A and B are shown apart, each in its own frame.
Chain A
Amino acid sequence: MSDTGQRMPGAPFDPAGDVAGSFRDPVSGDFRQETMIINMGPQHPSTHGVLRLLLELDGETVIRCKPVIGYLHTGIEKNTEYRTWLQGITYVTRADYVAPFSNELAYCLGVERLLGIEAPERATLIRVLVCELNRITSHLVGLATTGLEMGAVSVMLYGLREREMIMDIFEGLTGLRMNHAYIRIGGVVMDLPEDGPHKIRDLIDILPSRIDEYETLLNDNPIWRERHEGVAVLSAQRCLQLGVTGPVLRAAGSTADLRKDMPYCGYETFDFDVPTRTEGDAYARYRVRIDEMRESLKIVEQALDRLMAAPGPVMIEDPKIGWQARLSVGPDGIGNDPAYLAHIMEESMEALIHHFKMVTQGVDVPAGEVYSCVEAPRGELGMYLVSDGGHRPYRVKIRDPSFVNLQALPDVIEGYLVADIIAAVSSLDPVMGGVDR
């Protein structure tokens, strides 16, 4: 096995390879005898997912750390090249499965820019609404798993309890709790359900007091502070060098937020702040995420008010794209609407032919390339989309913030204690589905 990972001719296949190769002494090629090399993960309750860390330890001190990733690699990018543009949504939504709406939004905004179309205003408002609700669920999962990994199981229970309220809203809206494929090219699949606004109002009433509870429990909790303060410190400058974005960057004093810097979906018309801290440690990241939940709730409230005032279509008129709005939520997610099914199967042969062609082939997208990016809960989520003019993508590259942010891990834990690894990983909050794609 060579160090470039390329197989030498005639060499036996070795799926594991010499991943610890970079820990060898460059001169003698041996491992150092006075330190210990251990594996943490990939199946470990505290690594925030299927993450494997190769650690070289001197006692309790981490000398070197090498993250080994790819255990959840599912070939999403390759698969999209063999599906239609529309089917691509069901693939990209599975990348960062904790924040699926952001994936769908970045992808659909990109395809819409290639097609030269724009979603109706009401669809854009619903997109903002679900993405901000999704930001709250994502930060709640981050908080809950951090609690679990720190041994604060009650925090895990509280976080998942509130997340469940929002998951109920998502389930009513899209039929599913995750992997929604709800945001589509040209709009969204369907309007809010009848009880949707009511459920969201309930959430807006209840959630602020629950966030207060987390802060009462954790902000001045001596154990919580001890485990997080001064741990995994990253300066803003180092974040930018390493490509780190999102709450991790804002906890180091930067105000970088694509919703403010390069607004999309009309974010410039919403009134909200970008919370920042200056310490750049794990505790600052926890505080920034808590504050972001409150800000997201402000956006949700404004979006809901505007939605109540402005009825209208949620999908563009063009029947070649707009047919997706003729789906409905069934017991197992989004599926064919019975009335539409009756129309194409029993009433109109032409409608059946059109339906068949639109579903199997979809739309041709003009040749070109776009980089469409949104502020996902973990930072800049970009989709680099290339079309060669056909009905299938030529290339879909997902720039997932989890993947890039995880690169900072060796930086923040080398020289620190093994126990700090747990807080460091959970404060970077990677979602391995997004890291490995």
Chain B
Amino acid sequence: MSPESMAAVIAARYPDVLVARAETTVVVDREELLEALAWLRDEPTLALGFLSSITATHWPDRDPAFWIDYELRSMTLHHRLRLKVGCTEEDPTVPSATTLFATANWLERETFDFYGVVFVGHPDLTRILLPAGWDGYPLRKDEPLGGVPTWFHGTTMPPVDERGMA
């Protein structure tokens, strides 16, 4: 299905649809996220049953501050759709998609690990790439690059960019 005709089908139900660079993006409210994902997956003319990726972007001075991005793919009809849902810095929570897509488990853990977005209803929302005791969410825009001490059992080393400075 072409991006334009896909946008027309979706707009009948979720009006906030955009086509740019031959990619379709639909923005839905946080409350209707699971319903929208389930409908896109089960609607036979769309058949977006494969969840490729979940990630987030952080915009500290904007509202909403977080955009959670879901990349859907149809294995039978060979088209794609991007679904986005926003949430604020004060309440960075979205419902977990793990009940609809098993693959969401690690993808949501990674997004939580990097951005601190809490996926409500996730069975095991723990850090995945960073150590369990890590402080902060490194891909947020207000987290600096570097300046992280190196840990060993029982001791720490100063950050790489500060070593050798008396």
Contact = CB atoms under 8 A, between A and B. Distances in A.
Same complex: yes
Interface in B56-113: 57, 69, 71, 73, 75, 78-80, 82, 101-103, 105-107, 110, 113
Given A243-B51, A382-B53, A79 B145 contact: yes
B30 interface: no
B161 to A, nearest CB: 13
Contact of B80 (A4, A113, A371): A371
B57 A395 contact: yes
A17 B57 contact: no
Interface residues of A, number: 52
B21 A78 contact: no
A75 B71 contact: no
Contact of B138 (A17, A75, A114, A380): A75
Contacts of B78: 261-262
Given A7-B133, A19-B132, A404 B107 contact: yes
Nearest to A72: B129
A243 B103 contact: yes
B103 A15 contact: no
A371 B73 CA distance: 11
B82 A371 contact: yes
Contacts of A235: none
Contacts of B145: 75, 78-79, 81-82
B157 interface: no
Contacts of A243: 50-52, 101-103, 107
A76 B64 CA distance: 26
A399 interface: yes
A114 B23 CA distance: 11
B33 interface: no
B35 interface: no
Given A7-B135, A13-B133, A15-B133, A403 B50 contact: no
Given A261-B75, A399-B71, 14 more contacts: A1-B133, A5-B126, A18-B132, A19-B126, A70-B128, A81-B145, A82-B145, A262-B79, A371-B80, A384-B69, A397-B53, A397-B69, A407-B106, A436-B129
